[in-house]
Amino acid sequence: MNIIWEALGVSLAVTLFSGPVVIPLLRRLKFGQQIRDDGPQRHLKKAGTPTMGGIMFLLGVVVAGLWLGNKSAEGMMLLGITLGFGLIGFLDDYIKVVLKRSLGLRAREKLLGQFVLAIILVWFAVFHFGRGTDLALPFSGTTFDFGWLFYFVFAVFLIVGMVNAVNLTDGLDGLAAGTSALVAFAYVVIAMTTGKPGIALIMAAVVGGCLGFLWYNNYPARVFMGDTGSLALGGSLAAAAVLTRSELIFLIVGIIFLVEALSVIIQVISFKLTGKRVFKMSPLHHHFELSNWSEVRIVLTFWLVTVIFAVFGLAGMAVDLSLLWD
């Protein structure tokens, strides 16, 4: 257990100490955030804030993972998937910020990379790590084997969907980093109770990295994580869910990510079918902004909801545990 806390501490320290180096470097390279004109007007003052800061906590996670990791195959897979999604995000940020192509990677390019990584992860989880193709139904104490075809489709789309949901959540100072830290901590608990210390170590490093990043990203943010960070976080959390057989629990623990994504889907469908919007703006955090909630209030509320559902999800995991690893 001590090594788990050490991983958290090392990642936290590396991230904190990287700030005074990385943030000025991003400024000198003019890697500033471009703010959309159609977003909340209060965000316009954030234009020029350095982005791609996800590099900071990725550095912390890598150092902690390689230095303290027991080189478990699953832990290294989790670390590799995290870096893989981070690379996709980095390319997207680089194209947007440096090459000045406002939309970054084309949607099909970004999705192709995400689906390839998701397929690789699921393949190794099922055929090399003994994950199987069963799903535990939360709070029911039962599992059901859907077969490899259904499970592959479900797991791959879950990974890609939740990765992009975390990306959508990254819209307010401290929102994505804080919620991700809480969900990652829940996965430290889940990994330890399911006999996955390698997964627990990497997730502890993610917690430490997010906490270190929050020092610079809390309101008013001195740096943004960019897609480099948000895609990496989404990838790490989704991969941990697959490797610990807790995909449906992830939908509970990561409720904020799910709701943020659903708000966008609902908004698009409603507007296309009726010409009316359900929310003042999507994702959901923008709706609250336009309802005159302060940025800090929204972030703290979303953090609190994450804590509540993390506890709820862990309770469901406890009910199912005896069946998952019998």
**pLDDT tens-digit profile of 145-203?**
989 899 999 999 999 999 999 999 999 999 999 999 999 999 999 999 989 999 999 99
Entry pTM: 0.94
Whether 16 is in a domain gets the answer: yes
pLDDT tier at 35, thresholds 50, 70, 90: low
Work out the percent of the chain whose per-residue pLDDT is above 70. Answer: 91
Whether 155 is in a domain gets the answer: yes
pLDDT tier at 138, thresholds 50, 70, 90: confident
pLDDT at 324: 46
Residue 180: domain span: 2-134+149-245
Count of CB atoms within 10 A of residue 251's CB? Answer: 18
Whether 214 is in a domain gets the answer: yes
What would the mean pLDDT of 30-54 be, rounded to a whole number? Answer: 70
pLDDT at 136: 83
pLDDT at residue 325 above 60? no
Residue 137 bridge partners (DSSP) = 142
pLDDT at 31: 78
pLDDT at 293: 94
As a whole number, the mean pLDDT across the chain is 91
Whether 40 is in a domain gets the answer: yes
pLDDT at 14: 98
Residues 241/250, Cβ–Cβ less than 8 Å: yes
Q: What is the pLDDT of residues 200-219, one digit of tens each?
A: 999 999 999 999 999 999 99
Q: How many domains does the chain fold into?
A: 1
Residues 190/39, Cβ–Cβ less than 8 Å: no
54-74 b/e (C-beta count within 10 Å ≥ 16 → b): bbbbbbbbbbbbeebbeebeb
* Binding site listing: 167, 227
Cα distance between residue 202 and residue 7, in whole Å:
7
Whether 30 is in a domain gets the answer: yes
161-173 b/e (C-beta count within 10 Å ≥ 16 → b): bbbbbbbbbbbbb
Whether 284 is in a domain gets the answer: no
* Binding site listing for Mg(2+): 167, 227
Whether 286 is in a domain gets the answer: no
Q: How far is Cα of residue 91 from the mean position of the Cα atoms in its chain?
A: 17
SS3 145: strand
Q: What is the pLDDT of residues 164-177, one digit of tens each?
A: 999 999 999 999 99
Cα distance between residue 183 and residue 256, in whole Å:
10
Q: What is the pLDDT of residues 234-288, one digit of tens each?
A: 999 999 999 999 999 999 999 999 999 999 999 999 999 998 999 999 999 999 9
Whether 301 is in a domain gets the answer: no
Cα distance between residue 51 and residue 228, in whole Å:
9
